[in-house]
Amino acid sequence: MAGYLIRRLGTALIVVLGIVLVTFLMLHIIAPSPALTILGAKATPAAIKSWNHEHGFDRSVYAQFGTYLSNLLHGNLGWSFKLNQPVTNLFLEKAPLSGFLSGASLIVAVAVALPLGIYQAVKRNSLGDVSATALAMIFYSMPTFLVALLLIQVFALSLGWVDANVPQDQSLSGALGQWWQLILPIVALATTAVASYSRYQRSASLDVLAQDYIKVARAKGLSDRLVYSRHLVRNASLPMITLIGLSLPVLIGGNILIEYAFNINGLGLLFVNSLSGDDYNVLLAYTLITAILTVVGNLVADICLTLSDPRIKLV
């Protein structure tokens, strides 16, 4: 186990560094300096040159990348020139709300998809199975942003059940003070995840139902309830562990669209605003955090799968 973890962590470090390097180079190729964005379109060449020199943008790209890595080792994510404050402070302020949205939507998605997928497998080709499959394919093919707009139109504007205006408090505690206004964003994030998870769960459940130990359990006279609870649920749920780990970047990417659609003051909206304002360090920090969460999610999924299934060994 220890050797496996060391190898995985070493590989993860290389992957994260590669992602940060590629993103850093792409940003600087597209826009070598944010001087015009900060100083304005009427800034003189002398002012732009002075600003670039003051902030190190007149050096080579590789020298700038070396400085950025050095700052990262000291826990410094850089300075937001657009918002005029440290990027670390911005992320600490906005990350809890975004993390809550992703976590809550993941819990809702798993809680709905697991029993739904098992039900579809048990009732294969029934009206309920066909209907759930059709709905899953519809929502799976829809972008998260479109799902959000449809939910706003139906439940907020047409029916008036909820308010489309989400809390503008950037803190998690302040937003939870009006928790009912977070229902639509969470449902929008969870809907596409449910469509994906339920399809995988149905397929995994069908595979388990075809195994010999299910036939033996039924031949021994066990009721369907005991067969499903003792043999089907646990074994069919194992592939979902890996799927959840691989879905972390999808949820994080969905946060960008959902927070933009509902104007939620989280990391997703910060990323969109930084993208339009050439705020390099914020974009790099978001990419770095996403890469780390993706790698960690995959590693945790592998470990959890090994602990859940003794047949799997980490080598």
Residue 6 domain-assigned (yes or no): no
| Percent residues over pLDDT 90 in the chain | 3
Between 285 and 36, the higher pLDDT residue: 285
**71 occurs within a structural domain:** no
Could you tell me if residue 163 is inside a domain? Answer: yes
Q: How far apart are CA 291 and CA 288, in angstroms?
A: 5
Residue 156 located in a structural domain? yes
Q: How many CB atoms lie within 10 A of CB 113?
A: 25
288: in domain? no
Express each pLDDT in 232-272 by its tens digit: 888 888 878 878 877 777 667 668 888 888 888 888 888 88
Domain contains 298: no
Residue 13 · residue 20 · CB < 8 Å: no
Q: Dig out the tokens for 142 from the structure.
A: 């829809």
For the chain, give the mean pLDDT: 82
CATH assignment of the domain containing 219: 1.10.3720.10
Range of the domain at 251: 100-277
| pTM over 0.85, yes/no | no
Residues with Cβ within 8 Å of 195's Cβ and at least 6 positions away in sequence, in order, are 135, 136, 137, 138, 139, 140
pLDDT of 168 above 70? no
Domain count for the chain, please give it: 1
Quick check: 176 pLDDT over 70? yes
Task: Look at residue 30 and tell me if it is in a domain.
Answer: no
Question: Is residue 27 domain-resident?
Answer: no
Residue 249 in contact with residue 290, Cβ under 8 Å? yes
State yes or no: pLDDT of 170 exceeds 70.
no
pLDDT at 3 over 70: yes
Mean of pLDDT values over 73-96: 86
217's tokens = 């359990």
Q: Specify the 3-state DSSP secondary structure of 278.
A: coil
What pLDDT is recorded for position 173? 75
* 311 has a pLDDT exceeding 70: no
Checking if the pLDDT of 203 tops 80, the result is yes
Contacts of 241 (CB under 8 A, 6+ apart): 301, 304, 305, 308
Measured in whole angstroms, the distance separating CA 50 from the mean position of its chain's CA atoms is: 40
pLDDT of the residue at 242: 78
